Amino acid sequence: MVKSIADKFLTLLKSHAESFDPGAAVSTRIAEASIAKLADAERKGAKFILGGPVFKNKETAALHPTIITGVTSNMDIFDEESFGPSLAVHIVDDEEEAVRLVNASVYGLVGAVHTRDMHHGLQIARRLEVGIAHVNGATTYDECKSHSFFTVRGVSDTVLLTHLR
C-alpha cells in the first residue's frame, strides 16, 4: 500500500472488516497457529488496526478479523500464511519499494496490483517475481506466467522444487 493513500484505505478497510464474520477456523490447531503468528508480530512491534492475537470463541476456534501494519521481515507473518482472517498491510513510499518487498520473499504463488491506470498496473505486475500476477481483478481472470504454480526466491520452476525435496 502506497503511503499517500494508506490512511484512507485503512479506514475503509477497517469499516468493512468490522462487519465481517469469518466463522470458525478449520481446526483449533490452525487457529492457535494463526494466533501465534499474530502474537509474534505484536511482540516485535506490529500495530493492530483491528482484531489481534486472541480467539473470538475458543470452543469453536473462531477468530476475529485482523488488520495489522508495521510488519517487518523478522516477523513470522511477514511471508508465512496465517490461515486466519488476517491481513498484513505493508505501507511503502512508492511502487519501487513495493516491487522490492514482493520480490524479496521466498514465496510468490500469487501477486496483485490495484491501480487506476491499467497499463501501468500491467507494467508493475510484469516486474513481480510470482507465479501469477493479477491487476484489478480476481486470479481466475489471469493466466499463469509459467507452467509452474510455485515460486521459490523468484524462480518459477517445478524442477527446482523436485530437487529441493
What digits encode the pLDDT tens for the residues 58-83?
A: 889 999 999 999 999 999 999 888 99
N-to-C CA span, the chain? 35
Helix (H) or strand (E) segment spanning residue 69: strand 66-69
What global pTM score does this model have? 0.80
Are residues 45 and 26 both part of a single domain? yes
Q: What is the largest CA-CA distance in the chain?
A: 48
The three cell numbers of residue 54 are 486472541
**pLDDT tens digit string along 106-144?**
878 888 899 999 999 999 999 999 888 889 987 655 455
d(CA 148, CA 131): 7
Which alpha helices (H) appear in the chain, and where do they start and end? 3-17, 28-43, 95-103, 118-127, 158-164
Q: Are residues 1 and 53 in the same domain?
A: yes
Asked whether residue 38 falls in the same domain as residue 61, the answer is yes
The count of domains in the chain is 2
- Are residue 9 and residue 80 in the same domain, yes or no? yes
Q: Which of 91, 115, 136 is the last residue of a domain?
A: 91
End-of-domain residue from the set 56, 91, 126: 91
69 and 109 belong to one structural domain? no
161 and 102, same structural domain?
yes
Residue 75 CA to residue 47 CA, distance in Å, equals 12
Position 163 pLDDT exceeds 50: no
Residue where a domain terminates, one of 35, 70, 91: 91
How is residue 156 written as a grid cell? Answer: 518459477
- Domain CATH number, residue 48: 3.40.309.10
Position 45: which residue type?
Answer: G
Residue 63 belongs to what domain range? 1-91
Phi-psi region of 23 (alpha: psi -120 to 50; beta: other; left: phi over 0): left
Say yes or no: 79 and 110 in one domain.
no
Does 60 share its domain with 42?
yes
SS3 77: helix
